[in-house]
Amino acid sequence: MRTKSPRYAMLEIGLIALAVLFMIPLYFVVSMTFKSPEEMAGFPLSLPGSLSFGNYAETWAMMRFPLVFANTLLITVSTVALLIIFGSMAAYPLARKSSKTYNFLYIYFIAGIMVPFQLAMVPLYRFVNALSLVNTYHGAILIYTAINLPLTVFLFTGFLKSTSRELEEAAWIDGCSKFRAYWVAVFPIIKPATATVAVLCSLSTWNDFLIPLLFLQDSSRRTITIELYMFVGEHVTNWSLLFPGMVLSVLPLLLVYLFLQKYIIKGIAAGSVKG
């Protein structure tokens, strides 16, 4: 083993160098937020002269950060909750039963993975508009739930197939209803798939911009991403506000990632390799 250590040291140094190179775009954006207009015109990788948060304070107020943050959080959390509850419930019989009907339903659900969302856009807009759900939170939540259901059902079904039926069958014998047995005996053992769904669907919902562009145009309903997009349209030349806006828009996810990265990385891997 000892003879190998210099090789590992070399590998490690190479990988660290690669990771630093990889991080340059992020460093670039963050360093720009602290630069004065004169510094911005200089070499892009130079360090900012001072760490002043003035640009952030101004951007925070202009993009109404507390409001758009709360909007995004509400929509993301509600969507993920609905996906976990309804998606896992639907996946359960699809994973356990193998008659033609259930196989068809499984294919029916996962076919959605291959459909480009743009194909649904116009009929969906007319429908959502007819129900007066444009510019409402529940409208957006329902749309996100619907478009994320195919992946959710796929991941839960894949995972459920690898689990044993003994616990739930024991619960039935004890007189539990199918429904109760599911929540008591099955739902707790599919946690790894639940984690995967939570991570993937939170990311795609939080980061999405096409749906709020169409369905949440009212400025009091905007999400973080769409606020940033509108912001760029209005202040396209003002870099001193754009860069802090970009950092602020990704900061909530970055903080969550910083604290939960082990679970997030594990979550993605668990669902993917089993599914």
Cβ 3 to other proteins, closest distance in Å? Answer: 13
State which residue, 1 or 51, has the beta carbon closest to other proteins. Answer: 1
C-alpha to C-alpha distance for 66 and 106, rounded to whole angstroms: 40
Cβ 72 vs Cβ 223: under 8 Å: yes
Token representation of residue 85: 């509850």
State which residue, 27 or 53, has the beta carbon closest to other proteins. Answer: 27
State which residue, 90 or 201, has the beta carbon closest to other proteins. Answer: 90
Cβ 52 vs Cβ 35: under 8 Å: no
Token representation of residue 70: 């709360």
Cβ 227 to other proteins, closest distance in Å? Answer: 10
Give, for 62, the enclosing helix (H) or strand (E). helix 54-62
The amino acid at residue 95 is: A
C-alpha to C-alpha distance for 196 and 101, rounded to whole angstroms: 27
Cβ 67 to other proteins, closest distance in Å? Answer: 18
State which residue, 9 or 70, has the beta carbon closest to other proteins. Answer: 9
State which residue, 90 or 193, has the beta carbon closest to other proteins. Answer: 90
Burial class (CB in 10 A: 0-12, 13-18, 19+), 36: middle
Cβ 66 to other proteins, closest distance in Å? Answer: 19
Cβ 172 to other proteins, closest distance in Å? Answer: 5
Total residue length of the chain = 275
